[in-house]
Chains A and B, each alone.
Chain A
C-alpha cells in the first residue's frame, strides 16, 4: 500500500512543473531538476514501437544532465532565436497522476499530459500529448526530478517544439 502522502508529493511536483512552464518562471522551473537528472524524449521507431536506447537510437531530446536544460534557457532568453520570438504561450494539462513505485527517498510517477501551445506570431495552435514518467528523489533540496521520460504520442511535429512545450 502506497501512503497517500506520496501521492500528494507527486501531484505537487508535477503540477508545479507545469505551472512554472506556463508562467515562464524559468529559474524556479529548472530548480525542480536534480543536477544529474536525465531528460529524455524518445522517438518512435515505427508506428507502434518506441525507441528504447538513447545511446543507439535517435531521440527528440536526450540530456544526461540538467546542463542541457540550461542551454534551452539561454536560447529562450536570448531573444535572438526566430523560433522562440515571440514565445509561444502554453497551457500544460497534467492528469492521471499515478504512483508506480516508491521508496524511502524516491518516487516513480506516471502521468498524462495534453499541452496546448499557441503561436501568437502565426496565430496557430497545436496540442502535444502523451505521457510522462517521472522519478523524484528526496535530498537536501527537497523533492527533485531525477528523471523525466516523455512519450510524445503525436510525433509528426510542427515547425518547432521546445522544452517549454513538453
Chain B
C-alpha cells in the first residue's frame, strides 16, 4: 500500500502521491498500477482536467461531414463539442456552448444547417462559429462594452485530421497531431486505407453505459489474456457453428482453436498509444479478404499482409480501433469514476460491395454489439472490477506483468521490416498474451496527471501558445 494516501493530499495535488500510483521500475522488471487509479473519485476529477483537456481526443470522421453545413456533436470528457463543415470547405471544432448564458447550442447528434440558433434566446452562429445575430440587439440597451466582447463560439485549442480521422484538443498546448500519433500512424493507416474511396461509419447508433471506470475499457481492447476465460461461451458458440454447421452461419468466423497456435505481439508507442496483433490462419474469413488484390495493388504487399492480421490499437486516452471479426472504432467518455458512456462505430470501406457489407454487419453485431456475444461479457467484468477496486487495500493490481521479461526496447524484426519504431515490442505465441501494452497507457496517464498537478505544461513542443 502507498503510505500516506488521503483525500487531503490529493486535493492538495500532491505530486508525490501521484507519482506513487504507477510503480514503473523497468530495471527491476516491475510495472504496477494502484487500485486508486480506477476507483478514486478525487483522481477522476483531476483526470478530467489534466488528461482529457490537455491532449488530443478523437472527435469523428471527416466522412461524417461530407457536405457544407454538415455538423456533428460530440464530447471531450465532460465538455460538449461541435464540429462543423463551413461553406469555405473548412472543418472546425468548437465548444458546443452558447455564449449568451452557456446553454448547450446544438441539441442533435448530427445534421445539416447553415446557422445554429440557440433555442434559449435565439442567438445565431454560422458554421465558422461567428455570432451572426444577437437577437434584438439594437433595441437591447446594451452598454458600449458589450460590442467589445467576443460573442463567437469558443474554438477548441487545436483541431486537425489524420487520414480522415478528426481530433481536437481543448488545450492549445499539444504537439502537432502527426507527432502525437507518432508511429502508431502505421496501424491507423491499416484501418483507414482499407477502402479505395476512403472509409465511413455504417449508419446505426450503438451506445451503452456501464457502471465502471473508463480505464477498464482502455485496457480491455489490448488484453488478449482474457479471451480464453471471459469469452468461453462465445467460443463454444463459434465451435458449434463450425463443427456442427449449425447456428447463425452468417456470423461464422475463423476457427478460434487455430488462433491459439498463432504468433502475436504487443507494441507500445510514445504518448500513451499501443497496438497488439495476432497472425490469422484463416484470412479468407475476414471481410477485407475478397478485396485483397485491389488492396495489395494500392497499399503494397507489406501493408496488405498486416491488414489480414488481427489488430487492436488504442489512441490514448479514449479511442480504439479493433480489427478482428470486423472493423470497429470505439470511443468512451468518462461520466463518473464508476460510469462510462460508450459509442461503437462500424467502420467500412466507402462503396463496399453489398454482400461484403452484409457479412461485415453480421460479424460486427455478433461479436461487438452490447446485444451480441462478446462485449456484454467484457462490460460485466468492468462492472465487477468497479466493485472490487473499491478495496484500495489490495494496493497495486498486477495486470501489466505478462511479457515484461521477453519484451525488447524499440522495434522487433517485424516492426523494423514495416519501418515502425515502437518504444517496446513483445512478441511470442498467442499464449504469451503480453500485458506490456499497459505500460504506454499508464506512463502517459501518470505524466499528464503529474505535470498537471505541478502546473507544468503537458507538452514540450506545442502547436499554439497559451490561450
Q: Which residues of A contact B (CB under 8 A)?
A: 41-47, 51, 54-65, 67-68, 70-71, 74-75, 78, 80-84, 122, 124, 155-162
- Distance in angstroms from A44 CB to nearest chain B CB is 5
Q: Which residues of B contact A (CB under 8 A)?
A: 108-110, 202-211, 230, 232-234, 236-237, 240-241, 246-251, 341, 346, 354, 357-358, 361-362, 364-365, 369-373, 375-377, 379-384
Q: When the two chains form the complex, which single residue of B205, B250, B373, B383 contacts A45, counting CB atoms closer than 8 Å?
A: B205
Within 8 Å CB of A71, what residues of B? 237, 240-241, 247-248, 373
CB pair B206–A161 under 8 Å, yes or no, is no
A157, B379: Cα distance in complex, Å: 12
Within 8 Å CB of A61, what residues of B? 365, 369, 371-372
A80, B235: Cα distance in complex, Å: 10
Chain B residue at minimum C-beta to C-beta distance from A63:
B248
Prevailing SS type, chain B contact patch? helix
Within 8 Å CB of B249, what residues of A? 67
CB pair A162–B371 under 8 Å, yes or no, is yes
A58, B363: Cα distance in complex, Å: 11
Chain B residue at minimum C-beta to C-beta distance from A160:
B376
A65, B362: Cα distance in complex, Å: 13
A74, B236: Cα distance in complex, Å: 8
Question: Contacts A62-B362, A71-B241 given: A160-B206 contact, CB under 8 Å?
Answer: no
CB pair B247–A68 under 8 Å, yes or no, is yes
Within 8 Å CB of A78, what residues of B? 232-233, 236
CB pair A81–B377 under 8 Å, yes or no, is yes
Chain B residue at minimum C-beta to C-beta distance from A70:
B247
CB pair A45–B233 under 8 Å, yes or no, is no
Question: Contacts A58-B203, A80-B236 given: A161-B370 contact, CB under 8 Å?
Answer: yes
CB pair A155–B205 under 8 Å, yes or no, is yes
- Give 4 closest A-B pairs by Cβ, nearest first: A58-B204, A160-B376, A83-B376, A43-B204
Chain B residue at minimum C-beta to C-beta distance from A55:
B358
Within 8 Å CB of A75, what residues of B? 233-234, 236-237, 373
CB pair B377–A60 under 8 Å, yes or no, is no
Q: When the two chains form the complex, which single residue of B246, B341, B379, B383 contacts A70, counting CB atoms closer than 8 Å?
A: B246
A144, B281: Cα distance in complex, Å: 41
CB pair A46–B241 under 8 Å, yes or no, is no
CB pair B204–A51 under 8 Å, yes or no, is yes
- Distance in angstroms from A10 CB to nearest chain B CB is 26
Within 8 Å CB of B241, what residues of A? 71
- Distance in angstroms from B256 CB to nearest chain A CB is 14
CB pair A83–B208 under 8 Å, yes or no, is no
A67, B354: Cα distance in complex, Å: 22
A68, B363: Cα distance in complex, Å: 12
A158, B341: Cα distance in complex, Å: 10
A62, B371: Cα distance in complex, Å: 11
A43, B202: Cα distance in complex, Å: 11
CB pair A58–B206 under 8 Å, yes or no, is yes
- Distance in angstroms from B172 CB to nearest chain A CB is 33
Chain A residue at minimum C-beta to C-beta distance from B382:
A159
Within 8 Å CB of A45, what residues of B? 203-205
Within 8 Å CB of A65, what residues of B? 248
Question: Contacts A68-B248, A156-B209 given: A62-B365 contact, CB under 8 Å?
Answer: yes
Chain A residue at minimum C-beta to C-beta distance from B384:
A82
- Distance in angstroms from B355 CB to nearest chain A CB is 9
Q: When the two chains form the complex, which single residue of A55, A122, A155 contacts B357, counting CB atoms closer than 8 Å?
A: A55
CB pair A56–B354 under 8 Å, yes or no, is yes
CB pair A58–B383 under 8 Å, yes or no, is no
CB pair A157–B108 under 8 Å, yes or no, is no
